[in-house]
Structure formats: C-alpha cells, structure tokens
Chains A and B, each alone.
Chain A
C-alpha cells in the first residue's frame, strides 16, 4: 500500500499512471493517512507546524511510529555503492520531497523578512522599518502564506542553480542557506 506513496514520492511512477494513483490515494483512507503522515513529518522538519496546531509532538511520534524507515539516518559509509546502500537510499528517497522542503527551510525562509505587497500595499524596503514592525506588531504581520514560503524558497534554490554563468547567484543562495540570523529571533 505504501509502495504507491513511495513510488509517487520517489517519482518512480509513470506520468500517465500518476493521475490514477493519485485518485487511488484520495479514495483510500489508509493511504491518505500515510500520505498525511509523510507530510506531517516534512512539516515538522521545516518548522512549519505552529504551536497553535496542538499535540504536534504526539502526532509526529505516531507518524514516526507508523513510518519508522522514513527517518532512518543514512549511512554514508556505504553510500550508493552496494545494494544495502541503494535500499537505504530508497528509504531516504521516499523523502525527496521532505529533503527539498528541509532545504527550502534553511534557505532563509524568514516570513518576517519577506515584505509582500498585497492589494497594492507598498512594499517595505528599510530593514529598520521591518524590525520596528516586528517589535510592535503580532508575529504574523506581513507573513505570507506558508505554502508560498515553501514555494518561494524552492524556486530560489532552483533559480540559483540555473542562473546564467554568474556564480554570484550561487554565492547568494548558499550564504542564505547557512544564514542563521532572522528578524524574528
């Protein structure tokens, strides 16, 4: 049953078969639950699950119990050299999605640093302005939707890797990757 999810996540599925499998996924309660577990774990990895969701730890523990292989550490000493490693990597490959999301999370997904222009509002340009806003307003002020944050970060990584011959983009991407300081800390 979970092979379907594995195949989908691992992109081992034929495109023409994808729609059918996704329909199966939607109609099968157990599959849907497993799918949600995968994504819940992914959410936690990238720090998207807010305290407001409640019982998060418990939910994640249950999810991990249900899918113990998913979070098995990869043994790099045997990395993709033999069958064992390919099995390990297949397990890890299940999390191609989570991996990307985790990467995204690190690449400066700082909601409060991202000024947005909804409905014609003027974009904030001065960092000091933003800091002041953070000091005076609820944390959610100017926060863009989580899903768009994820997408934004993912697109940023993809953009950086494909950008012309100007490696400055690469530099920017990776500097953001190891960046720690955020306005909301």
Chain B
C-alpha cells in the first residue's frame, strides 16, 4: 500500500507541475494551450538525448532540457498564440495550439523514434531501492521547486508583479505602460522552463517517450480544472489528488479504470464546483 501512495505522489507531482505550466501561460494570455503536456515530454526526451546520446554532463543535460522547453514554448507563443489573439477573441488558439502539438509529436516520433527510450540515472543509486528510488522523489522535488520558485517570483520580483498585473487586467496593465506582449512571451518562456525541468526530473519514471505529450496535456488539464484555474496552490493540490486517486483506483479496481477515474473526478468537480477547489468565481458585470 505504501508503494501505491508513493507512486501516486510521484505521478501526481508530474501532473501538478504540468498544471502549474498551464497556470503560468493562462495567467497572461487566457489560453489553455494544447502544447502544455509536450513541454515535459520534450524535457524528458532531450534530457535523455543530451546525457545518454551525446554524453554530456548531467547538469548540462538539465540546462539543455530547460532551454528546449523555453524555446519550444516561446515558439508556440509566437506562432500559435500571439497572432491568433491579435486577430480574434474567439478560441481559435485551441486549433492553433493543437496544430503545433500535433506537429511536434510527429516530429519527435520521426526523429526520436516511436519506442520509449531509457532515461539515464541522475544520481548514483542501486536500482532495488523500493520507495526510496530517485525516480519517485525527483518528480516530487521538481514540482516543489516549480511551485516554490513561482511563489517567490510572483511575490518578490518586479516581473512577477507585472505578470500578476497583466493577469488581473491586461487592458489596465497596458494603460499603465506595461508591454503585455512581452510579458506574455516571458511567461511562456518561464512556463517552458518549468515544464522542461519537470519532464527531466520525471524521465526515469516515464522513460523518454514521444507519446507522453497528449496524455500529460489531458491529465494536467484535469489537475488544473480540479484545483482551480489561476491558482497555483490549486494546481498542486489538484495534481497530487489526481495522481493519488488514479493510483488507488488502479490498485483497487484495475488499470482499465485509471482513465475513467480521472475523467470522473473532472466531471464531479465541474458539477459541484465548476471554478475548481481553489478557483474564484468569474464575476461578470451586467
């Protein structure tokens, strides 16, 4: 039973980190990008490529994985978000980000291959460690670093306050001279870094596998919907709760119910508390 809990926490941490990535992007653009889950996927694949493929030191591999996340998400913002938001208020970004997600998934399948590949051991440790194995606690540590650093960023830095200002009222922020386009681009770069880090930390658990992107996009979305869009605390709680419930459902009922439970949780929360556990109700003046 202890392994059920530990595994649930580990996988929940990956979902939590993905939900945080969603939040950071949403806060400045009001876009729920379908490419979100692909950022950790790229972090894992490129981490494996840099370290195991090119033989680079682990820290260089980590920096490389984060850099790939940053670049990919910046490209997403330029190609699939900025132009769409400039032209329309409709949710066309859903299609444009879906297109980018599909393209990057296919490119990775062609270049990296369609079979999962191993992710290297990051810390010297024997394999038979049970719940003490680094593959469980590295994702948890990464999620904690992502959440902690975001809190520090928002509270203690000027750019963090610019992000908050833009997310609360983009028009007012622009009126005060804030370049909201640049803030949005920076937020996408920041979220790309977080996603790259999360994927790198989770690589030993998930393997370096091109097909993880859409699965993480879905589960990250469920986590943020459960926790509350716009709330980082909600993202963390939602992700961990989703991971734990999926793990217990698999243990008690079988693997075929894993996705059923995940979607069931989403539907339940949307029915009872549509804004999520920690989200705030949208007030619309009439």
A-B interaction = no
Chain A residues in contact with chain B, CB under 8 A? none
A-binding residues in B (CB < 8 A): none
